[in-house]
Structure 1
Amino acid sequence: MKLVVIGANGNLGSKVVKQALNRGHEVKSIVYMCNTESLGTEVIDKNLFDLTQADLGEAEVIISAFGGGFKANPVINKEAYEKYIELLEGTDKKIIAIAGAGSLYTDSTHTMREYEVPGYSPKLSAISQNIKLGVDKIKERNDLKWTVVCPSRKFDLEGPYTNNYKVGINEEIIFNEDGNSYVTYEDLAAAMLDIAEKDLYNNKVVTIATVSVSKEEL
């Protein structure tokens, strides 16, 4: 499969690239102002918002690990989804885009989202609200192929690759066998690639949780 990975040099994107290459996929990495020697792929050094459909070439699936970060204006997270729509229009490509746990509902009642919980970080709340606004925009586009993927509450950079994860499809926080809302970066990367390979969850928002991690692995 031909893939484009946006944010290929980041914590999540670099894991997506590595796993994709291990699975035998052809990968084009989109990075911005960084050292790309370790990626081992074709590289385009370009800001997400400057990308064109031509940059995507013959890729069948775009995996976006883009995140605006804490220093950027939170509205950039909404604008990212507007850019995804622009990149997809008139094509048969699919995008699998990372979102955030903060934009999910807290439970099955769907009465409150994570960012609305009292005491939630104001900065994270603004980021999550803008992610939700962006997701709402892409939800309107049933003529495009997309899947939005949210991590669990605890998103563990140092956690192991277990390739044993569960998927929530109701836009709400899910819990694993240990009673935690927890996912490793490695397992999230694996889930995004599985969605790409099997063409799963079209036009849906999903969330991923690592099923279980032993104390020895943490």
Structure 2
Amino acid sequence: MKIAVICANGKEGRQIVKEGLERGLNITAVVRGENRSVATQAIQKDLFDLTASDLKEFDVVIDAFGAWTPETLPLHSTSLKHLCDLVSGKNTRLLVVGGAGSLYINSEHTAQVMDAPDFPDVFKPVAINMGKALTYLRTRTDVRWTYISPAGNFQADGVKTGKYMWGGEELLLNSNGESVISYADYASAMIDEAVNGNHIRQRISVVSE
């Protein structure tokens, strides 16, 4: 299996590359500048400059793109559209590092995490734009995509426990009543999905046990 990790220099991208290589998978880092991941194979190219030819040899493409400033937030949608167009109609699977803000907090699926009164205002613009990207992704029936939302508390420096639970469209709590996962455990879940491919054209979620 050949896997490309786009934006492999980011914090989650580096974790995914590391996890994949530790399992003996063939991982290529896709980076805009110098490769700072542990991958020895790299494509040095801006995401928007990638072509279908660049990705044609990969079984799975993992999109770890993230944007945080007001002027770059719309890139969540435009970057995803670009990647979808590159793998349209092909067997290549597109796995997306998603957000938790668009997870539902009721069984009717009428209220999302970002709608809650205690959701921090500072994170709302990111959550809204990542939610728009997911809405767009759902229209792409020509792409074998999977969108993986982390738990509400996504911990960059959290430890790797190796234990997690899959969820669906709703915010999932663990046995301690918490919605939390480390970047390392999320990377494990991402690589598991890359290998197994159990959730084609679905949004799923993951939480530490």
CA distance in 2, matches of 1:200, 1:98: 16
Question: Counterpart in 2 of 1:210?
Answer: 208
For 1:92, the equivalent position in structure 2 comes to 91
Q: CA RMSD in A?
A: 1.7
Instruction: Summarize deviations over 1:122-181 as a string: whole Å, max 9, x none.
Output: 452222222222212221222320100011110111212122100111x11111111100
Residue type at the aligned position of 2:95: I
Q: Tell me by how many angstroms 1:37 deviates.
A: 5.4
Q: TM-score, normalised by structure 2?
A: 0.93
Is 2:19 the counterpart of 1:24? no
Aligned residues: 209
Instruction: Tell me how far apart the structure 1 counterparts of residues 37 and 17 of structure 2 sit (CA, whole Å).
Output: 11
Whether contact under 8 Å (2:95, 2:194) holds in the other structure is yes
Contact kept, 8 Å, 2:9 with 2:37, in 1: the verdict is no
Task: Give the SS at the match of 2:101.
Answer: helix
- Where 1:101 maps in the other structure, the secondary structure is coil
DSSP 3-state at the match of 2:61: strand
Instruction: State how far apart, in whole Å, the 1-side matches of 2:37 and 2:130 are.
Output: 30
Cα separation, 2, equivalents of 1:45 and 1:79:
20
Question: What is the CA–CA distance in structure 1 between the aligned matches of 2:123 and 2:202, rounded to whole Å?
Answer: 23
Cα deviation code 1:96-138 (max 9, x no counterpart)? 1011011111233322112222353445222222222221222
Distance 2:141 2:39 in 1: 35
Contact 2:167 2:205 survives alignment (8 Å): yes
Unaligned runs of 5+ in 1: 212-218
Does the 8 Å CA contact 1:78/1:132 hold for their aligned counterparts? no
Q: Is the 8 A contact 2:17 2:37 kept in 1?
A: no
The CA deviation at 1:41 is 2.2
Equivalence map 1:151-170=2 (5 Å): 151-169=150-168
Percent of aligned pairs sharing the same letter: 32
The separation in 2 between residues aligned to 1:148 and 1:79, in whole angstroms, is 16
Alignment-derived partner of residue 146 in structure 2:
147
Point out where structure 2 has 5 or more consecutive residues left out of the alignment. none
| Residue matched to 1:9 | 9
User: Matches of residues 27-46 of structure 1 in structure 2 within 5 Å?
Assistant: 27-33=27-33, 35-36=34-35, 38-46=37-45
Greater CA drift, 96-105 or 40-49: 40-49
Q: Which runs of 4+ in 1 moved over 4 A?
A: none
- Relative to structure 1, is the Cα distance of residues 186 and 196 closer, same or farther in structure 2, using a 3 angstrom cutoff? same
Query: Is the partner of 1:63 in helix, strand or coil?
Result: strand
Correspondences of 1:17-166 after superposition (within 5 Å)? 17-33=17-33, 35-36=34-35, 38-70=37-69, 72-166=71-165
